[in-house]
Structure 1
Amino acid sequence: MGELLNKTLASIKPLDKEAMRKASARQDTLIKPQGALGRLEEISITLAGIQRKAIPQIKNKAVVTMAGDHGVVAEKVGNYPQEVTPQMVLNFVNGGAAINVIARQIGARVVVVNMGVAGDLPAEIPIVNKLVARGTANIARGPAMSEAQAIQAIESGIEVINSEIDKGLDIVGTGDMGIGNTTPSAAICAVMTGQSVKNVTGRGTGLSDEQLEYKIGVIEKAITLNDPDANNALDVLAKVGGFEIGGIAGVILGAAARGVPVVVDGFISGAAALIAEGLCAQAKDYMLLGHLSVEPGHRIMAEKLGLKPIVTLDLRLGEGTGAAIGIFIAETSAKILAEMATFGEAGVSESE
């Protein structure tokens, strides 16, 4: 593995148990019945452990949206042409996508990264260019990428998150854009969870029953042909993954190494989370699951990672939309811990 990746993996430590103990103790003194705020209490305690602060703080927020194309679209596994990927990147830049709307509402910056867009993008647009190649190879005909490219993709994600943390960052959400990317994500899910392709594959952008069966067949063919090693996350990424999936995995690992919580978005980000956890099991402790996608494999990913979704809104868009909503709720949990009065401060008697 690459030097930056190895250094990052070595830097991921267990959560700060003492900070979590103090956060939990303060929660128990706030002016409410113990546990009355449910998951909001749990999330604030997790944030304390990640940030290594008894009272975590969330001010600087970002969503990193990684874009990349996939050679498997040549197999006609979806309803949209590959030209949509660069068109949507431009929409992100222009502020017109759903992620832009939600990010503005929660006060988060959107960082758009070109990991592997096949089409042309204007040179002057304000995106981060980490192009590995113009789209992956067709996984139904061979590996998606070389091992060197897989490492490059992950390390590019680490570089992006390190740069954002250096600018000031308390929490990050992951997002994606790439026509056809539910196909490699389903392949990763099937391989790394041991579930059948049929159980983890959904309709993506709205496939018919016949199209879904065909998509399942393409994924099964790709797994059989490439034979990825379920115990080697780098091998899985290289053989059936995507450049943006590798980039998101790098964001997760880089954030974990520097004590920044990561709110994971939907199915594609979930595939990246499986890769990150496969490279470092400790990394999952730094993840919050923003939402539960309607893609059937997303629930299976969540169970494998041991993560509970913050919200369930039947989303299936990607872009980081569910992660952004999760960031808002995580920030709310931190503010409650920091700003809510204790029984003593409010002069209210605690129950016997």
Structure 2
Amino acid sequence: MSLDGWNSVLVLGGIRSGKSEFAESLVADAASVRYVATAAGAGDDPEWSARLAAHRARRPASWSTEETAADPRRLADVIAAARPGETLLVDDLGGWVTVLLDPAHQPADDTATIDELAAAVRACPARLVLVSPEVGLSLVPTTPLGRAFTDALGAANRAVADACDTVILVVAGQPCRLKPAEVAPAASSPPTTALTTAVPTQGRPTPGASAGAAPVDSAGALPVSPPVSTPELPTTETTPTVIGSAGAAASAESGPDIQPGLELPMPDDEAGPQAVARLATLDVPVTGFGVLEQVVSFAAATQGTSTPATWRSVRVLLLHGDYTGGAAAGTLPGESTRRARQAAAGQGVLARLAAENGAGLQVIDAPAAAPIEEGPALTAEQVESALRYGWRLAEEAADAGVQLLVLAACGAGAEAAAAAVLAATAGAEPPAVLARVVTENGGIDDLAWMARCAAVRDALHRTRRRSRDAKEVLAQLGGGEIAVATGILLGATARRTPVLLDGPVGVAACLVSRDLAGQTRHWCLLADHGGDPAVRLAADVLGLTALTELRLGLGEGANALTVLPLLRSALALAADLPIRPERSTDAGSAEAPAGPTDGDGEPAGNGDAAPAGNGGGEPAGNGDAAPAGDGDAGPQEPAEEDEPDFREPEPEGPGPTSTSPARSADPTGTRVG
């Protein structure tokens, strides 16, 4: 297994999996190796002594050994003190965690010590290999000490894996790459071919047809990002702000190495349900937020709080990259270019809606694509460059404080390319996912629709034996718009920035990005499916639910901006509404008088009812009536000291206010009791 270009590697594996032997093979060509042993001594355990002896016997005589078992905090110091040109092999983190949890080193802040180790690994200038047992696949231990060990080792493995360039899992002696290393190009070799609008193949289009195409220098570096401005609502006295597209300068930055299996962050899986539960406590009449609960849950998860704030900083990324051949059948020549220039000038539907929402607008020219029915849409180099370019655009937005990205597209033939991607990744039939072709006058062009179906069918037949790898799909079928959009989604996920999807290009890019990093779809929200069959099917595959069904046809991106004020209103209400007050009744309040009541719900002894034990309907012990069981009609005996005096409550509101005895309206006494 070739691992050229790595600086730090974490080798994981189970017991007797061969992880240590594989780690030692990675540094076998080093002139000298500093072996850092972390395990404690064997003591009186002969079997453990034999294991340690076997490890020592495998080490070449040129290796030096350094032990850190006496102090687990020293491992981070050893790694941090390493110099460039050195090679360190740490074997292993399981022994290090065992020492860290040893009662002799308690109390110890395990979390802080693990963080120190990860920071030292991340900053280490030497070549570093770390070995660690993988305990995440085993059963949960039945003892507290066993659970503490697995928890601490799992946390250490995650922290160190995040800090390392490469992570390898060894299973039954077979190394499996989990995290690819970022390999920098050699100084003598030119950088990867840049993002261009031309496809260097005979018979393919040239940059001349693209509006504001991003020029590229001879070294082939990525173009400078287009300027971003907030359009202003048009008036009779001012002109719209020009937003523009890519500039003439170029950047030599190579960007991240985008490979399948990227480890990107996930939204908070607890904040979303907590936010929805909180909605039930707000002072909202009737059923509350309805479908918009999804918006609150999504914003809470992506912001990591149960009380999410509304998106105040929004940026629209308009991708323009035309397709040629049958995919673009039925489109007016130059229409997409006109739309892109119109948006760049602050005019048209998209710019007007961006102004209404106070959103920034960035027009981005993607590479033009060759006819997909004849050959690849892009070269492999163009795909790599487009992915890195999109990633960089998302990073720039996050650095500028953008809280929500809106993905838009206006390329000719983009719908057919998105249908081809959907058919290749989800097994759909082209006629089922290709929307009807609508003419400029609102009519239906069935001939153009059939030409698009034929182009997609021929492209799928041409690539039937090719890999369905994400980059291969982009190169063969996806084209420039979808490739740049895929990079934007990956970069936005890496920077924890949510994306509002709208239209077939956005959902096609989400399908492709899912195969590079499965976390991306959890950062996407679908505003409206617009009645497009491709969007409907892709949303179902991705597990996305359209928030509205307005069937808007304003253009990709404009539909989302139309719905955005509604989404913002839901978040503003969820954040600002007070908690519903509790309406409880005090048992001793005037609203619910204490004491016995008669059959009509009134307090006994007030009005016409007398306490039980007096057949004459008068209160016992008041006036000439004697208490029950006393034959004398004389004055009352004083009450015992331990018996509290009883006072009839005085009711509030209408009705009698006196507690003096009164004659019952029922002389028979049948109502009493």
Q: If the length of structure 2 is used for normalisation, what is the TM-score?
A: 0.46
Partner of 2:363: 112
Q: 1:65 aligns with which of 313, 318, 342?
A: 318
Deviation at 1:105, TM superposition (A): 1.4
Structure 1 residue 245: Cα displacement: 1.1
1:124 maps to what in 2?
none
Match for residue 320 of structure 1?
Answer: 557
CA contact 2:328–2:412 (8 Å) conserved in 1: no
Residues 90-132 of structure 1: CA deviation (Å, up to 9, x unaligned): 100111121111111122111111113xxxxxxxxxxxxxxxx
Instruction: For residue 78 of structure 1, give the secondary structure of its aligned residue in structure 2.
Output: coil
The match for 1:17 among 269, 282, 287 is: 269
Task: Provide Cα deviations, 1:134-159, integer angstroms capped at 9, x if missing partner.
Answer: x1111111010122211211221111
Which region of structure 1 is more displaced relative to structure 2, 186-195 or 22-31? 22-31
Percent identical among aligned pairs is: 26
Separation in 1, partners of 2:348, 2:513: 27
SS at match of 1:336: helix
3-state SS of paired residue (2:527):
strand
Closer/same/farther in 2, CA of residues 349 and 163 from structure 1, 3 Å limit:
same
Corresponding letter in the other structure for 2:562: I
Aligned length: 327
- Relative to structure 2, which stretch is displaced further, 300-309 or 53-62? 53-62
Task: Determine the structure 2 residue equivalent to 1:349.
Answer: 583
**Does the residue aligned with 1:42 lie in a helix, a strand or coil?**
helix
Kept in 2, the 8 Å contact 1:263–1:327? The answer is no
Equivalent residue in structure 1 for 2:343, among 82, 89, 92 = 92
1:191 alignment partner, SS class:
helix
1:69 and 1:136 in contact (8 A); partners too:
yes
Q: Deviations over 1:192-240 (max 9, x none)?
A: 1111111111224445223322221111001111337574222111101
Of 147, 152, 155, 2:388 maps to: 155
8 Å Cα contact 1:69/1:179 also seen in 2: yes
1:278 is paired with a residue whose SS is helix
Name the residue aligned to 2:256: 4
Q: Counterpart in 1 of 2:232?
A: none
Q: Does 1:226 align with 2:477?
A: no
User: Does 2:501 align with 1:247?
Assistant: no
* Aligned residue in 2 for 1:37: 289
Distance 1:67 1:35, change over 3 A: same
Aligned position for 1:292 = 529
Do the aligned partners of residues 231 and 328 (structure 1) sit closer, same or farther apart at CA in structure 2, a change above 3 Å counting?
farther
Q: Is the 8 A contact 1:9 1:280 kept in 2?
A: yes
Contact 1:173–1:264 (CA under 8 A) maintained in structure 2: yes
CA contact (8 A) 2:316 2:359 kept: yes
Partners of 1:263 and 1:326 within 8 A in 2: no
- Please tell me the residue identity of whatever aligns with 1:91: Q
3-state SS of paired residue (2:256):
helix
| One-letter identity of the residue aligned with 1:212 | W
Distance (Å, rounded) in 2 between the aligned partners of 1:55 and 1:201 = 40
Partner of 1:333: 570
For residue 84 of structure 1, report the CA deviation from its aligned partner: 2.1
Moved over 4 A (4+): 228-231
Aligned AA (1:349)? R
Question: What's the offset of the Cα at 1:7?
Answer: 8.6
- The aligned residue for residue 175 of structure 2 is none
Moved more, 257-266 or 272-281: 272-281
| Length-normalised TM-score, structure 1 | 0.85
* Structure having greater relative contact order (Cα 8 Å, sep ≥ 6): 1
Distance 1:35 1:195 in 2: 38
Alpha-carbon deviation of 1:10? 3.7
Give the superposition deviation at 1:5.
Answer: 4.7
Q: Which has the larger radius of gyration?
A: 2
How far residue 33 of structure 1 moved from its aligned partner, in angstroms, is: 5.9
Q: Is the 8 A contact 2:260 2:516 kept in 1?
A: no
Counterpart CA distance in 1 for 2:569 and 2:517 is 29
- Name the one with the larger helix percent: 1
Is 1:183 aligned to residue 416 of structure 2? Answer: yes
Query: 1 CA distance for matches of 2:575 and 2:370?
Result: 49
Q: Tell me: CA distance 1:16–1:35, structure 2 relative to 1, closer, same or farther (3 Å).
A: farther
- Provide the aligned C-alpha RMSD in A: 2.4
- Deviation string 1:157-199 (CA, Å, 9 cap, x unpaired) is 1111111111111111100011121111111111111111111
- Tell me if 1:164 matches 2:415: no
Separation of aligned partners in 2, 1:162 and 1:168:
10
